[in-house]
């Protein structure tokens, strides 16, 4: 049991002393996951709303596929991105593998189906009445989609937070496409995984605490905002 308490003590020390390495890892994690969440949201939210309110043949099957894609394993996404970006792959010429950009691409692709699926489900269940009202007031498709996004903004923000949580806490995709290179592509989750296999717990615990803290802060902000609204 001693090694656990010792691990916690050293972890707190690392955090209080604003350890340079911890700081670098945390900032890179936030940068990669925030970028991925922003890109995924910009694409998936309007599309999710559009398809959520659209009536088309095969929507049931479309829904099933959408919800299945939401839980696609991160290692699979990592593997696909790695294959595409590898030297022999179709985008090999851009030399992106083992870079931050590759990690952002992988996480964007990982959370896109999640944001899309959550927004799609939301628009499907609650967008109908808003769409009807918008239609009767003369709104076109663009106005309708933007109106629904505005009306459901709190739920959409919660979806975005969920996507960010998924991105920042996943390890498979960033490990495969980033390579966990020290000072360059090492993020919180890949470090925790590595430290755990090395038996170096203080750093792993410190980063674990930061991960929980980040999640807490984001969800607290959204909760306060939803209460105000």
Partner 1 sequence: MEITIENLERYYGDRRVLYIEKMEIEKGKITAITGPNGCGKTTLLNIIAGLDREFSGVIKYDGKYLNRETVDKMTIVFQKPYLFRRTVFENIEYPLRIRGINKVNRKPLVVDLAKGLEIENLMGKKAHLLSGGESQKVALARALVFKPELLLLDEPTSNIDPDAINTLEREILKFNKETECTVLIVTHNMEQAKRLGNRIIELSYN
> Which residues form the interface with partner 1 (CB under 8 A)?
129-130, 132-133, 135-140, 143, 147, 150-151, 229
Q: Which is nearer to partner 1, 21 or 155 (CB)?
A: 155
What is the rounded CA–CA span in Å between residue 98 and residue 109? 16
> Is the distance from CB of 171 to CB of 190 less than 8 angstroms?
yes
Q: Which residue, 70 or 139, is less far from partner 1 as judged by CB?
A: 139
Nearest alpha-carbon partner for 33 in 90, 115, 97, 91: 115
Residues present in the chain in total: 229
CB of 63 to partner 1, least distance (A): 21
| Residue 7: both structure tokens together | 């691990």
Decide whether 106 or 148 has the Cβ nearer to partner 1: 148
CB-nearer residue toward partner 1: 9 or 141: 141
**Min separation Cβ 152 and partner 1, Å:** 9
Q: How far apart are CB 45 and partner 1 at their closest, in Å? A: 17
Residue 41: CB minimum distance to partner 1, A:
20
Nearer to partner 1, 140 or 197 (CB): 140
Minimum CB–partner distance for residue 133 and partner 1 (Å): 5
CA distance 19 to 59: 51
Q: For the chain, report the end-to-end CA distance as a whole number of angstroms.
A: 46
Tokens of residue 14, six digits: 């690392």
- Give 138 or 199: the residue with its C-beta nearer to partner 1: 138
DSSP 3-state assignment of 182? coil
Neighbouring residues of 27: CB distance < 8 A, sequence distance ≥ 6: none
CB of 143 to partner 1, least distance (A): 5
Handedness of CA 106, 30, 159, 211 (dihedral sign): positive
d(CA 75, CA 181): 18
């Amino acid at each position: 049991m001693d090694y656990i308490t010792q691990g916690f003590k050293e972890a707190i020390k690392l955090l209080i002393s604003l350890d340079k390495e911890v700081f670098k890892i945390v900032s890179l994690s936030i940068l990669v996951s925030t970028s991925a969440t922003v890109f995924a949201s910009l694409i998936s939210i309007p599309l999710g709303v559009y398809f959520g309110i659209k009536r088309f043949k095969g929507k049931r099957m479309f829904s099933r596929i959408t919800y299945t894609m939401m839980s696609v394993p991160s290692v699979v996404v990592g593997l696909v991105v790695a294959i595409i970006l590898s030297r022999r792959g179709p985008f090999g010429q851009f030399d992106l593998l083992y870079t931050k950009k590759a990690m952002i691409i992988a996480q964007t692709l990982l959370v896109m189906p999640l944001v899309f699926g959550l927004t799609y489900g939301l628009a499907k269940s609650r967008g109908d009445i808003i769409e009807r009202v918008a239609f009767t007031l003369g709104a076109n498709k663009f106005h309708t989609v933007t109106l629904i996004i505005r009306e459901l903004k709190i739920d959409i923000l919660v979806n975005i937070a969920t996507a960010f949580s998924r991105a920042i806490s996943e390890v498979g995709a960033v490990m495969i496409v980033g390579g966990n290179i020290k000072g360059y592509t090492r993020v919180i989750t890949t470090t925790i995984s590595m430290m755990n296999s090395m038996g170096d717990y203080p750093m792993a615990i410190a980063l674990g605490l930061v991960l929980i803290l980040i999640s807490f802060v984001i969800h607290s902000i959204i909760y306060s905002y939803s209460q105000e609204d």
